[in-house]
Amino acid sequence: MKYKIKVRKVNREDQIAECFNNDIEQDEYNIHLNLLIEDISNKRIIDKVSLDDNIISIETPLKENELLEELKKLFGRELCYINYIDINQIA
């Protein structure tokens, strides 16, 4: 199955208690986004992953809820930098 996951940079308005609540520099966001992509691609259950702007494309045999469960751990590590927006399955 193929999925597109929309993400964005965390900003002050998100008010995440665990974070410093400052605006993130774009370079810092890009570093953490690339680390997230690398972590996703290293999972055995992921066939292919790519990044286009703020859209992460993933190919995997997993169902949407299974994929989200796997990714929850990775997004949790990037909580202060990357905000998950939504996921869509594509044909």
In CATH, what number is assigned to the domain containing residue 24? 3.30.70.100
Q: Which two tokens stand for residue 84?
A: 């998950």
Below-50 pLDDT ranges, the chain = none
Cβ atoms of 35 and 24 closer than 8 Å: no
Looking at residue 21, its pLDDT comes to: 64
Give residues with Cβ within 8 angstroms of 16, minimum separation 6: 10, 79, 80
Percent of the residues in the chain that have a pLDDT greater than 90, as a whole number: 74
How confident is the model at residue 18, as a pLDDT? Answer: 77
Expressed as residue numbers, the domain containing 32 is: 2-90
- Rounded distance between C-alpha atoms, residue 79 and residue 52, angstroms: 20
Counted domains in the chain: 1
